[in-house]
Structure 1
Amino acid sequence: MSRPEGVTEGADRPLLTFCDGATGERTELTATELGGWAARTAALLRDGCGLDVGDRAAVLLPAHWQTAAVLLGAWSIGVAVSFRPRATAGLPVLGPGADEPLDAVFASWARLDDWLENVPEGRHRFVLGLGDPRAEVPDGWRDFLPEVRRHGDAPPAYAAVHPSFAATPDGTSYHAWGELARHIADSLDLRPGDRLLVDAAEHEEPVKWLLAPLVAGASVVVCANLDPARRDALIAAEGVTKVL
């Protein structure tokens, strides 16, 4: 099992496990560990980039543990986040207000080529490897992991985000996203202690693979390149109780 640099063993149960059936990567994070990475991201955005409540970011990333850290970190300081993991011809990245400059953009190496021609303008742009070790960062972009590791993993003392604040640039509130996540969790009959298996290629919307398990008190196993022939073995090995 691999762990990201800076992550330590803890007494908490696993909250988010990311595995890749093609590379063999397996990264397991407890709630404390994931919270630490989210806190680092929040500090990067607030202290390093000067972002605050109401600022706007685009997260153009697949389901991954680093994506969870980016989303939770941004939301924790009130940044409205738009997410579209895949470039889609003819559709704007952000929907309403897409022509307005963004305050931050996050994109993966694997999909950056697709986005370079269409990605919205942003004051701060970060690229994430997600297992793709490229040497050169494109002009105008910064490598996320080295940047976020400059910041501590203690929860920052920032003002609380009100449920009525906009969680996405279209104005949808944190409360509304929470209600949607609760609806999805109920539809899956998720309960505290459940362990949900998610095929990363099939369910990239974070309200499904991240928020729904969180509101239910369940943990999640996000698997990229899931081999159908090994699915049952993975379910048994990870102690999975529900499958999305």
Structure 2
Amino acid sequence: MHHTTPADLLTTALGTAPAAPLLTYYDDATGERVELSATTLANWVAKTANLLQEEFDIGPGSTVALALPVHWQTAAVLLAAWSCGARVLDTAAEDDGRLDEADVVLAAQDRLAPLEEQGVEELLGLSLHPLGMGMSGYVGSARDFALEARVHGDVFAPWSPPRPADPGLVLGELELSLAGLVEAAAELAGRLGVVEGDRLLVDVRVAAEAGPVAWLLAPLAAGASLVLVASPDPAGLAHRAGTERVTATLGVQVEGVRELGRGA
């Protein structure tokens, strides 16, 4: 299949190994573990894309801003925005002045207050709850992503198909088209040495610095799967790598497992 947009990468994963774990997320601070197959991730992506399209008119030419940590739900949001053909503004900084360019902002619950003060109107809040539950103890104006996404359809058909040449990601000064994201992902996967069937263990802090092309799209482009770990407990990493059948790491060192980007 010819990959022209990031959504095509997920379609390929679905066709190759629909039931195998594609994205596993751990938070060692909370003991949380969430595992998504390609089928489950695609379901979240479709529901989110339908939510963005039907409630916020997101399509080619739209801008979706994210104020989210690296997380399994963030993966679904990114792929959903790109499935609509939208440009993603990934704002690592709390006070990114370009948020007013966005047609909708998706933010972690703990980042909603400053956004509301900024006067951001189209705001979706994410609890980032392990079971995909809604926000608790929140009284602001943002809509609740988990509750809103749940009622949308499991199959997504864009009203206007994504245009490969359209902007796909703005990260600092860098801007990539939808097709450019796929090209960059494949090139980066090759440079890092990610191969088909790899299972990558990635520290979310490193992933956040590297950006979504590195932590999400490069593994998808290579046909690899992901184990994202927040607040990794160094004492448990070797055991984790064993039980998850990890073949390579990014940003963490596990004895006996090859570390990507270290010139193996």
Fold conserved (TM > 0.5)? Answer: yes
- Which of 241, 246, 259 matches 1:240? 246
- Partner residue of 1:215? 221
Alpha-carbon separation, structure 2, partners of 1:165 and 1:125: 24
Cα distance in 2 between the residues matched to 1:34 and 1:139: 29
Indicate the residue corresponding to 2:258 in structure 1. Answer: none
Structure 1 alignment gaps of length 5 or more: 1-9
**Structure 1 222/114 Cα, relative in aligned 2: closer, same or farther at 3 Å?**
farther
Structure 1 vs Structure 2 CA RMSD: 2.3
Q: Secondary structure at the match of 1:196?
A: strand
What is the CA distance between 1:234 and its match in structure 2?
Answer: 0.9
What is the TM-score with the length of structure 2 in the denominator?
0.78
Question: Does structure 1 retain, via aligned residues, the 8 Å contact 2:84–2:158?
Answer: no
Instruction: Specify which structure has the higher proportion of helix.
Output: 2
SS of match in other structure, 1:58: strand
Secondary structure at 2:168 match in 1: coil
Does the residue aligned with 1:147 lie in a helix, a strand or coil? helix
Q: Which amino acid aligns with 2:237?
A: R
Cα distance, 1:159 vs structure 2: 3.6
Matches within 5 A, 1:69-218: 69-87=76-94, 93=96, 98=98, 100-113=100-113, 122-131=120-129, 135-169=136-170, 171-204=175-208, 205-218=211-224
Report the Cα distance in structure 2 between the residues aligned to 1:13 and 1:85, rounded to whole angstroms.
31
TM-score between the two structures when normalised by the length of structure 1: 0.84
Q: Is the 8 A contact 1:80 1:167 kept in 2?
A: yes
Amino acid across the alignment from 1:191: V
- 1:165 and 1:11 map into 2 onto residues whose CA distance is 29
Identity %: 39
The letter of the residue matching 1:50 is D
After TM superposition, give the deviation of residue 116 of structure 1 in Å: 5.1
User: Could you report, residue by residue, the CA deviation over 1:34-80 in whole angstroms, capped at 9, with x for unpaired residues?
Assistant: 11110101100111222221111111111111101111111101111
* Count of paired positions: 226
Segment drifting more, 23-32 vs 176-185: 176-185
- Tell me what 2:10 maps to: none
| TM superposition shift of 1:32 | 1.3
